[in-house]
Amino acid sequence: MNSQNPNATGRRQIHEQSQHRPDLSSPHVREDVAITGLCGNVHLPTGRTCDLPERHEGSCHFVGPEDAENLAAQ
């Protein structure tokens, strides 16, 4: 789900610090969610995505694919 053009929709707010995250190229991080300043970690068995802030403390809070799409579009 890593986008080649993160600004393709024109609606996405890119978080400046998130562009420099070393984990963006990892398959367990949704780039389109992570560049908005959110965690973006993906629970691979279920495909659910963490919607907590980047570098949050504690466990991830995973949401379904539809909710993650909405997060990425904001």
Check if the beta carbon of residue 26 is closer than 8 Å to that of residue 34: no
Q: Where are the domains of the chain?
A: 16-73
Q: pLDDT tens digits, residue range 30-52?
A: 999 999 999 999 999 999 999 99
Kindly state the percentage of the chain with pLDDT values over 70.
74
Q: Give the mean pLDDT of 3-31.
A: 65
Cα distance between residue 50 and residue 63, in whole Å:
6
How confident is the model at residue 21, as a pLDDT? 78
Q: What are phi and psi of 16, to 5 degrees?
A: -50, -50
How confident is the model at residue 74, as a pLDDT? 78
3-state secondary structure of 70: helix
Q: Give the mean pLDDT of 5-16.
A: 49
Q: What letter does residue 48 receive in the DSSP assignment?
A: E
pTM attached to this predicted model? 0.71
How confident is the model at residue 40, as a pLDDT? 96
